[in-house]
Structure 1
Amino acid sequence: MPTISPKDKVLVTGANGYIGLWVVQYLLERGYKVRASVRSDDKGNALKVLFKEKLPEHAANLEYVLVKDIGAEHAFDDAVKGVSGVVHIASPMTLEIEDPQELIGPAVGGTLSLLRSALSHGNDLKRLVITSSVKAVLGPEPRTYTEEDWADYAVKEVEEKGKAADKMSAYCASKLLAERAAWTFIEEHKPSWDIAVLNVGWVYGPTVNDPASPAALPSTAGLFFQQFFTVRDEAYSYPAAQNYIDVRDLAQADIKALEVEAAGGERIIVASQWGTWQHWLNAAAELNLLPKLDKWDPKRSEGRPARVASNEKAKRILGITFRTIPETLRDTLDDFRPRGWLKEWEA
């Protein structure tokens, strides 16, 4: 399958989110034309203003298209016209739900809506990259997981317990069911274009925009600040242990998955390493980044069972060298520091 290259136009869904902004930035820097899907003109105009300030020499290559409801029929019909590639990121990311269907419906519906529009109107399309989650891969047992694994336990729990299902299981089920729906769609319709699915870890790292306060940090960037500096209680620490990915590595992986021919038709785990919050605290202590930060117990995570997501396939196919916890931590704190958010923990 022919892949895309700079000067082509790429649609990015969820473009004004935490991950989407990095994907847009890197695409523009590489010379791509970008069509960003957003839910309102206010969000679209804010996106254009942001990149006119950050990348004035590339800002003319950014346009936006309104997609108010990603699950609606024909939602992406206009969005996919004239694009060579798609990076699909838009999907619910919250545990504040009453019913698992609040996550599953939009996740599956949004993916299928995009694929149907691509089938009908994506005449120039070559590849569509779906940003899924490692949560669609990992089972409950501590071991190393690969792309051959599926988190079927979560779907079973949702089917059996309904609204009483664990909220994280509901999120896992939403990612798994959306991904399976995509693979089934491709098998049934055999479009002229192909897909690649990236199963990504918990996403941390700097932000592209400049949030006014820690409370305004988006998605898992906000979770990072909250857990690392505010809550400091493992009872709250979801996930207390996790496979993580630096947001910049993920954005680069999304673009590599468009460009690398061998990524077509593949399911690829994109995660840097497994760790706990204690590993992040240990890194801060070892680098002397926050002298006044409570370090908990450095031995806290010793012997903890690990559910490790293997990144060997990503390194082989996409050629990515992943940032490690100390690297992401240092850069994240350097992002926070000029905003005055770290004074309480610095010498």
Structure 2
Amino acid sequence: MAGDLVLITGGTGLIGIKIIQLALKAGYSVRAAVRSQAKADAVLATPTVKAINPGPKLTFVIVPDILADNAYDEAVKGVKYVIHTASPVIKGEGFTPDQYETELIAPALKGTTAILTAAYKTSGIKRIVITSSEVAIIPWEEFIAKEVDTVFDDTYKIPFPAGPYSHQFEAYSASKVRALKATEDFVKEKKPEWDIINIMPSFVVGDNEMVTDPKLVSDGTVSAAFAQILGGDSGWGAVPSTSVHVEDVARLHVEALNPKIEGNQNFLAVSEGARGTRWEEAIDIVNRNYPKAVKKGILPNNGVASTKRTKVDASRTEKAFRFKFQSYEAQVKSVVEQYLGLIGEEAA
């Protein structure tokens, strides 16, 4: 219920900062786990948090190393809910094969088990919401490498894919599979007093108030849509036809705290229904909505993107949460408008 204290991990990430903002707007008290005081200050400096002016309803706990033993033991004390979104993501130049296990898989697994173990040792927690991923339940080859007619939904399950991994994204996918399996095993073995909901986003696209340098706007999964607008190539190759607005992902996390949503479920977060996202359509979206910026060369809008068809059905999520995912056009526009704002240009 509104007013209850919720611990949010990973609050300085693309999804996490939106969760903090929406949780505060919904009336929750928030304790954000961050790696340093500088990260806490950055959260407080975001325009939305400043506008909310949360005062004592937003506090912070410093967790410098999520791989440390008992990392979250203090952080969970006194909270009613936990939203765990802290996990490694692929950014910039990414990781080399010798880093896959240490930088992607181990942190994802240890971070998840650490929050579960800490919650198990305390009392009063009612629900834990975890940021998983669609790749936790979709086989790597069928997701990224080959087109199949299978329509994946949130009941799909796959075994942990053992290495070696051919690509850092394959290792990232393995990290999500392994974390999900560890979560399911924990609940089955320990039978905790709380339940779990896994939110499984696709490629997350949207504005990020933690980013204040326009050069960093097109980072992570956002680049799949935005790199082409800046005249480049995301480096992802043909991207699966699944995307979701970051605001919708955050909304799912916060609304999943409502006990009316039955626990111990997985919910996919994928927009555009059966048709899916066509990444290259960002060029047309920008031409139609920001012609002045394109004409001036501020948005070159002549880069390259391609789409690999992947069928994912998230209709059960929309039905359970009673809202429709925002379109790819809305996703693109939110990033473009943030970028234009950061460089001091009008969104026209």
- Normalising by the smaller structure, the TM-score range is 0.7 to 0.9
8 Å CA contact 2:197–2:264 kept in 1: the answer is yes
Cα distance in structure 2, aligned partners of 1:134 and 1:115: 21
- Cα distance in 1 for partners of 2:290, 2:169 equals 34
Counterpart selection for 2:336 from 311, 314, 333: 333
Q: Percent identity?
A: 27
SS at match of 1:275: coil
Distance 2:255 2:209 in 1: 20
- Could you list the per-position Cα deviations for residues 279-336 of structure 1 after superposition, in whole angstroms to 9, with x for gaps in the alignment? 2223233445454444579xx96xx762122111111212222110112222322222
Q: Does 1:142 align with 2:148?
A: yes
Matched, 1:277 2:279: yes
Q: Kindly state the Cα deviation for residue 167 of structure 1 after the two structures are TM-superposed.
A: 1.7
SS of alignment partner, residue 322 of structure 1:
coil
Alignment of 1:195-274 (within 5 A): 195-215=196-216, 219-221=220-222, 224-232=225-233, 236-238=235-237, 240-273=239-272, 274=276
Kindly indicate whether the alpha-carbon contact (under 8 Å) linking 2:35 and 2:62 is maintained by their aligned counterparts in 1.
yes
**1:230 CA displacement:** 4.0
Structure-2 residue corresponding to 1:126: 126
Give 1:27's aligned residue.
Answer: 23
Deviations 1:162-199 (A, max 9, x none): 2x532221111101110111011001111111000011
The residue that corresponds to 2:106 in the other structure is 105
Cα displacement (A) at 1:138: 2.2
Q: Conserved in 2, the CA contact under 8 Å of 1:17 and 1:218? A: no
Displacement of 1:241: 3.2
| Deviation for aligned residue 1:151 | 4.8
Distance 1:59 1:51 in 2: 15
Shift of 1:133: 0.8
Task: Tell me the distance in 1 between the aligned counterparts of 2:321 and 2:259.
Answer: 7
Quick one: structure 1 residues 294 and 204, their matched pair in 2 at CA, closer, same or farther if it must change by over 3 Å? closer
CA contact (8 A) 1:44 1:64 kept: yes
- CA RMSD between the two structures: 2.6
Note if 1:178 corresponds to 2:179: yes
Post-superposition Cα deviations, 1:210-233, rounded to whole Å, max 9, x if no partner, equal 512323665434564434314237
Q: Under a length normalisation based on structure 1, what TM-score does the superposition of the two structures give?
A: 0.85
| Displacement after TM superposition at 1:55 (Å) | 2.9
Q: Could you say which residue in structure 2 is the equivalent of 1:188?
A: 189
Question: 2:4 maps to which residue?
Answer: 8
Distance 2:49 2:333 in 1: 25
Q: Specify the alignment match of 1:317 in structure 2.
A: 320
Given that 1:263 and 1:318 are in contact with CA atoms closer than 8 Å, whether structure 2 keeps it comes out as: no
- 2:7 touches 2:83 (CA, 8 Å); kept in 1? yes
For 1:211 and 1:221, locate their aligned partners in 2 and report how far apart those are by CA, in whole Å. 15
Equivalenced residue count is: 328
Equivalent-residue separation in structure 2 for 1:217 and 1:77 (angstroms) = 35
Q: With structure 2 as the length reference, what TM-score do the two structures score? A: 0.85
**How big is the shift at 1:337?**
1.5
Would the aligned equivalents of 2:238 and 2:308 in 1 still touch at CA under 8 Å? no
1:167–1:232 Cα change, 3 Å: closer
State the alpha-carbon separation in 2 of the partners of residues 55 and 204 from structure 1: 23
Q: Look up the equivalent residue of 1:199 and give its one-letter code.
A: M
Give 3-state SS (helix, strand or coil) of 2:69's partner: coil
Long gaps (5+) in structure 1: none
What corresponds to 1:68 in structure 2? 64
Q: Distance in 2 between matches of 1:342 and 1:101?
A: 42
